[in-house]
Amino acid sequence: MSRVYNFSAGPAVLPEEVLKEAAEEMLDYQGSGMSVMEMSHRSKVYDNIIKTAEQDLRDLMQIPDNYKVMFLQGGASQQFAMIPMNLMKNKVADYIVTGQWAKKAWQEASRYGKANKIASSEDKTFSYIPDCSDLPISEDADYVYICENNTIYGTKYKELPNTKGKTLVADVSSCFLSEPVDVSKYGVIYGGVQKNIGPAGVVIVIMREDLITEDVLPGTPTMLKYKTHADADSLYNTPPAYGIYICGKVFQWLKKMGGLEAMKKRNEEKAAILYDYLDSSSLFKGTVVPKDRSLMNVPFVTGDADMDAKFVKEAEAAGFVNLKGHRTVGGMRASIYNAMPKEGVEKLVEFMKKFEEENA
Ligand SMILES: *Cc1c(COP(=O)(O)O)cnc(C)c1O
């Protein structure tokens, strides 16, 4: 067996410890005589798995009691519709468009009401976060929507927008649990777990209780109402049971690593290794305005598509995989999520230096 350094944007690297534990428990989960994949989601043993996972997430993020945690399916993309269907009481919402995912969410919301694009960074290929300190927030907006970390373009909000009292909804798919957050500043925090937490198939939604009501847009399916899932503690129907179990293991790993303060420090150190090199290199350069750089997704280019392709190919042969940039931007992107060890980033930078020398 040999494992590569996997810089995929998602599904992405998971902590090796977690994978090993899951392997050990594959055939017989803690004396139950079966795999977690095979057990009833209504069993006592599974109930303990999902309850523990929720409690560990609450501990890690210090989620206040008036917020519900839901483990859902449908990917982050399904939330693009669920959010307006459930929250657009006035049929008005404001969207800040800082990348492809925010744009898709905005376009989807336009199907249900008036979705205003109140700011965008599309003029410069989404390479920065617009100033959000005094935006024209609509008086009757039901919420203000952001994508907090832009997976494709490598930008991150370092300060939340001033929503002028309106509910903030944030897609945190690619920065979930990468650093501490003040949950009380948000109405909704959600993300697909396949970027920074667990296997594809689980979406975690953290929602302030007063936003969870029966007052949804007419025709909203039962399965797309938050109330359905909140009232049933994510067990209205069969949840993505195995995926939740793995997420639970990652939460325990994060606790063992020292929690989100420790992860933030580790992630800052890791990202600095790569950004410092990019800033000093004469071959590679980062594509994002330095103040808005993501700790999780680091896009970079040489400025020459053939050289980029050569780099990606040679990197892969050396065991650094999935470094090709998103098809809409080109170049390279290194996703360095929580589970990417510091050593992986150090070795990547060593490899880049060697490549730069050889191709000077
Ligand atoms: C990957 C991603 C999505 C889409 O996730 P799916 O689970 O594939 O629907 C949405 N938002 C962000 C920020 C992402 O990184």
Q: What pLDDT, in 10s, does the model give residues 219-272?
A: 999 999 999 999 999 999 999 999 999 999 999 999 999 999 999 999 999 999
Tens of pLDDT, residues 316-339: 999 999 999 998 889 999 999 999
Say yes or no: 88 and 10 in one domain: no
Between 327 and 289, residue with greater pLDDT: 289
- In the chain, % of residues over pLDDT 70: 100
Say yes or no: 107 and 133 in one domain: yes
Long-range contacts of 110-115 (CB under 8 A, 24+ apart): 111/81, 111/84, 112/81, 112/84, 112/85, 112/88, 112/217, 113/84, 113/88, 115/84
pLDDT of residue 328: 80
Position 1 confidence tier, pLDDT thresholds 50, 70, 90: confident
Say yes or no: 113 and 213 in one domain: yes
How far is 92 from 108, CA to CA, in rounded Å? 13
Q: What are phi and psi of 116, to 5 degrees?
A: -90, 130
- In the chain, % of residues over pLDDT 90: 98
Say yes or no: 236 and 266 in one domain: no
Q: Is 180 in the pocket of ligand 1 (CB under 6 A)?
A: no
Say yes or no: 188 and 236 in one domain: yes
Q: Span 289-310, mean pLDDT?
A: 97
pLDDT of residue 43: 98
Per-residue pLDDT for 60 more than 90? yes
pLDDT of residue 327: 82
Q: Which of 222, 256, 290 is the last residue of a domain?
A: 256
Rg over CA atoms, the chain: 21
Say yes or no: 90 and 64 in one domain: yes
Say yes or no: 163 and 211 in one domain: yes
Ligand 1 atom showing the smallest separation from residue 192 Cα = 7
Say yes or no: 246 and 331 in one domain: no
Number of domains in the chain: 2
Q: Is 82 in the pocket of ligand 1 (CB under 6 A)?
A: no
What CATH number did the domain enclosing 311 receive?
3.90.1150.10
Which stretches of 88-194 are assigned E, i.e. beta strand? 92-97, 114-120, 144-147, 149-150, 155-156, 168-171, 188-192
How far is 222 from 157, CA to CA, in rounded Å? 34
Say yes or no: 243 and 263 in one domain: no
Residue nearest to atom 10 of ligand 1 (CA): 76
pLDDT of residue 183: 98
Domain containing 309 equals: 5-15+259-358
Q: Which of 213, 231, 256 is the last residue of a domain?
A: 256
Per-residue pLDDT for 286 more than 90? yes
Catalytic residues: 101, 171, 195
Tens of pLDDT, residues 106-128: 999 999 999 999 999 999 999 99
What's the chain's average pLDDT? 97
Q: Span 26-42, mean pLDDT?
A: 98
What CATH number did the domain enclosing 71 receive?
3.40.640.10
pLDDT of residue 360: 86
Ligand 1 atom showing the smallest separation from residue 174 Cα = 15
Tens of pLDDT, residues 132-186: 999 999 999 999 999 999 999 999 999 999 999 999 999 999 999 999 999 999 9
For residue 199, the CA-to-ligand 1 centroid distance in Å is: 13
Say yes or no: 192 and 283 in one domain: no
- Closest C-alpha among 104, 83, 103 to residue 93: 83
Say yes or no: 274 and 251 in one domain: no
In the block, tokens 């917020």 appear at 67
Q: Which of 256, 275, 298 is the last residue of a domain?
A: 256
Residue nearest to atom 8 of ligand 1 (CA): 75
For residue 192, the CA-to-ligand 1 centroid distance in Å is: 6
Say yes or no: 76 and 28 in one domain: yes
CB distance 8 to 316 below 8 Å: no
How far is 5 from 344, CA to CA, in rounded Å? 6
Q: Is 195 in the pocket of ligand 1 (CB under 6 A)?
A: yes
